[in-house]
Amino acid sequence: MTVFWFLIREGFKGLIRSKYAGAFSVIIISISLILVGFGYVGSRDTLFLVENIRAQFDVDIFLHKTASSEEIDNFAALLDSMTEVRNVHYISPEKAAVKFKKEFGEDIFDILDYNPLPSSFTINLKPIYRNLVSVEGIASILSNKPVVDEVKYRKQFLILLEKYQRIVLITVVSVFAFLALLSIILTSNSIKMTIFARREVISTMKLVGATNSFIRWPFIIEGTLQGFIGSCLASLFIYGIFYFLNNYLQTVIEYKAIVSYRYYIGIVISGSLLGLIGSRRAIRKFLK
Amino acid sequence: MISFINVNCTFGKKAGVKNVNFSVNSGEFIFLTGPSGAGKSTILRLIYMDLFPEKGKVIIRNYNSNNIHDREIPYLRRKVGMVFQDFRLLPDRNVYQNVALSLYVSHYKTSEIKKRVYRVLNQVGLGHRVHYRPSELSGGEQQRVAIARALVKEPVVILADEPTGNLDPRVSIDLMSLLNKINKKGTAIIVATHNYSLIQRIPGARLIQIDEGEIVNIT
């Protein structure tokens, strides 16, 4: 037990003994995690935005004017049974007339003395089927139904969305990976500097007969503490920025950064792990 | 207790040592002498296995340089005390902590550590300087702390590499008397020095003279 508490105590004291090098390391870890923290929220919200745009994609199916109510009911049942379909919305000729008036500002009965608008369905597809190949397949199946007059969807919108989503995804993942890698390198190097500054402690410990694990533990505890403190500072900073953004900048930008407490716990765990792994890697070099 | 058998060890551009043969018995006092660069420090480093022979072998009790595992070296060093010209004390720890470190690494209990550290600090005449930092001590006092650190683990041998190199003559004499006293209690001592006046202070000591990496005389 004496050794256990000695190593724990040495780890905590090391943080104070390392002075400027330790403080520098904490700041570097903090900056790295701030970058990664913002990078994560930015990436998440960009991908969410793209997915949201995609969710608005609908397919409109116009039926023949002559379709009987039984045929319409049967067709509605067919749409409901399709695995690709998330929800089905029926628009009767009367509802279509109301919609027409809302969209164009004129009553269809003022232009014509009858309602030429057909019954239609608007279907929204499940996320995995919101792509060009699936939509074309579904449109082709539905077009062949006798009751269907026309199937319409924004093909060009889908082509553009697919093209840009890939670019956005690659960019977002690359930026996030770069930030994560940068934070690992920065953290590892700053911890290495802290240990380098106290290499004489390591050499003296070796001379008096310390085993490698005995030398290693205080440095690992110290590195983990640096990571923990750095990540707490990063969490506080990010919380402050998000608070300011969500409460004072809503008139300037229409964006709300919403994160749960789990996000901050994630930052603290990541920071502590970065410190632990970084110090473990760094000390290995000095124990050879 | 310590045997050098046909030991050759060169490193870097320095010559190191060639064909070294000698042995040290328990409780002996030995001086390694010779000019700077003769190979005195190399012999000491071979004893605490900071260096390994290219040819021949060094045996310290049950440890053989030819088949010792990396993991065993710390255990060997717990049996060997070391004192250097530049003291090698940790500047951010006080006298007590510097000395106690030797025992913490050997997993002693706190009560035992306390007892031993105070006893050994009194033995080297530093009982009143327990809470001082090395920077607050004179050169002679710092070297006494280094000796206390070596002594506290009750080693079979203390290796002193130019221990008086940074000290004035009067302090050097005091320090040699201290080492002599420690030796009288049964600890073997090997001092590497090129200061011949110190050798005369220990009348019964054995003298190993080295030049250009070779032993030229043993008396």
Domain boundaries, chain A: 2-52+162-286, 58-153
Q: What homologous superfamily is domain B1-79+156-219 in, according to CATH?
A: P-loop containing nucleotide triphosphate hydrolases (3.40.50.300)
The alpha-carbon gap from A17 to the nearest alpha carbon of chain B, in Å, equals 7
**How far is the C-alpha of A90 from the C-alpha of A123, rounded, in Å?**
9
Question: Residue A204's closest chain B neighbor by CA?
Answer: B88
Question: Residue type for A199, please?
Answer: R
Q: What is the pLDDT of residue B169?
A: 83
Decide if B74 and A211 are in contact by the 8 Å CB cutoff: yes
**How far is the C-alpha of A204 from the C-alpha of B98, rounded, in Å?**
10
The alpha-carbon gap from B92 to the nearest alpha carbon of chain A, in Å, equals 7
Q: What is the pLDDT of residue A36?
A: 87
**How far is the C-alpha of B28 from the C-alpha of B189, rounded, in Å?**
6
Q: Where are the alpha helices (H) located in B105-168, listed in sequence order?
A: 110-123, 139-151
Tell me: the pLDDT tens digits for A71-102? 889 988 998 999 889 889 999 888 888 888 88
Q: How many CB atoms lie within 10 A of CB A233?
A: 18
Q: Is B108 on the interface with A (CB under 8 A)?
A: yes
Packing angle, helices A212-248 and A155-196, rounded to 10: 140
**How far is the C-alpha of A246 from the C-alpha of A250, rounded, in Å?**
6
pLDDT exceeds 70 at position A187:
yes
Q: Are A152 and A60 in contact (CB under 8 A)?
A: yes
Nearest to A204 among B78, B90, B113 (CB): B90
Nearest to B92 among A17, A209, A211 (CB): A17
Phi, psi at residue A141, to the nearest 5°?
Answer: -65, -45
Decide if B48 and A3 are in contact by the 8 Å CB cutoff: no
pLDDT exceeds 80 at position A112:
no
Residue that is written with structure tokens 């502590």 in the block: A272
Decide if A207 and B101 are in contact by the 8 Å CB cutoff: no
Please state the rounded mean pLDDT for residues A26-39.
Answer: 89
Decide if B101 and A205 are in contact by the 8 Å CB cutoff: yes
Select the highest-mean-pLDDT range: A192-196, A228-232, B107-111: A228-232
Packing angle, helices A199-207 and A212-248, rounded to 10: 150
Chain A residues closer than 8 Å to B108 by CB = 2
Tell me: the pLDDT tens digits for A249-278? 777 777 788 888 999 999 999 999 988 988
Tell me: the pLDDT tens digits for A134-146? 899 999 998 998 8
Which of A207, A211, A222, A287 to probe by mutation at the B interface, max B CB count within 10 Å?
Answer: A207
Residue A1: pLDDT band by 50, 70, 90 thresholds?
low
Chain A residues closer than 8 Å to B153 by CB = 208-209
pLDDT exceeds 80 at position B58:
yes
Chain A residues closer than 8 Å to B109 by CB = 2
Q: Are A272 and A227 in contact (CB under 8 A)?
A: yes
Chain B residues closer than 8 Å to A212 by CB = 74
Q: What is the pLDDT of residue A115?
A: 78
**Spatial CB neighbours of A167, under 8 Å, sequence gap ≥ 6:** none
Please state the rounded mean pLDDT for residues B33-60.
Answer: 91
Q: Is B115 on the interface with A (CB under 8 A)?
A: no
Supply A131's token pair.
């792509």
**How far is the C-alpha of A267 from the C-alpha of A140, rounded, in Å?**
49
Q: Which fold has domain A58-153?
A: Alpha-Beta Plaits (3.30.70)
Domain boundaries, chain B: 1-79+156-219, 87-154
Question: Residue B159's closest chain A neighbor by CA?
Answer: A207
Question: Residue type for A139, please?
Answer: A
Tell me: the pLDDT tens digits for B73-126? 999 999 999 999 888 999 889 999 999 999 998 888 989 999 999 999 998 888
Residues in chain A: 288
Nearest to B77 among A17, A207, A214 (CB): A207
Which of A13, A208, A215, A216 to probe by mutation at the B interface, max B CB count within 10 Å?
Answer: A208
Q: How many CB atoms lie within 10 A of CB A111?
A: 10
Decide if B105 and A210 are in contact by the 8 Å CB cutoff: yes
Chain B residues closer than 8 Å to A206 by CB = 74, 77
Decide if B102 and A200 are in contact by the 8 Å CB cutoff: no
Instruction: Kindly write down the DSSP assignment for every residue of chain A, as one continuous string.
Output: -HHHHHHHHHHHHHHHHTHHHHHHHHHHHHHHHHHHHHHHHHHHHHHHHHHHHHHT-EEEEEEPTT--HHHHHHHHHHHHH-TTEEEEEEE-HHHHHHHHHHHHSS-HHHHSSS--PPPEEEEEE-GGG-SHHHHHHHHHHHHTSTTEEEEE--HHHHHHHHHHHHHHHHHHHHHHHHHHHHHHHHHHHHHHHHHHTTHHHHHHHHHTT--HHHHHHHHHHHHHHHHHHHHHHHHHHHHHHHHHHHHHSTTT--------HHHHHHHHHHHHHHHHHHHHHHHHHHT-
Residue A262's alpha-carbon distances to A164, A179, A232, B126, in angstroms, are 31, 20, 13, 55
Residue B99's alpha-carbon distances to A204, A219, B81, B190, in angstroms, are 11, 20, 12, 20
The alpha-carbon gap from A275 to the nearest alpha carbon of chain B, in Å, equals 23
- Paired with B59 in beta bridges are B3, B64
Decide if B71 and A2 are in contact by the 8 Å CB cutoff: no
Higher pLDDT, A165 or B157: B157
DSSP 8-state symbol, B177: H
Q: Is B153 on the interface with A (CB under 8 A)?
A: yes
Which of B71, B89, B101 to probe by mutation at the A interface, max A CB count within 10 Å?
Answer: B101
Q: Report helix, strand or coil for B95.
A: helix
Decide if B153 and A209 are in contact by the 8 Å CB cutoff: yes
Please state the rounded mean pLDDT for residues A56-65.
Answer: 88
Decide if A2 and B88 are in contact by the 8 Å CB cutoff: no
Q: Are B54 and B8 in contact (CB under 8 A)?
A: yes
Tell me: the pLDDT tens digits for B44-55? 999 999 999 999
The alpha-carbon gap from A220 to the nearest alpha carbon of chain B, in Å, equals 17
Q: What is the pLDDT of residue B28?
A: 93
Residue that is written with structure tokens 């065993």 in the block: B72
Question: Residue type for A194, please?
Answer: T
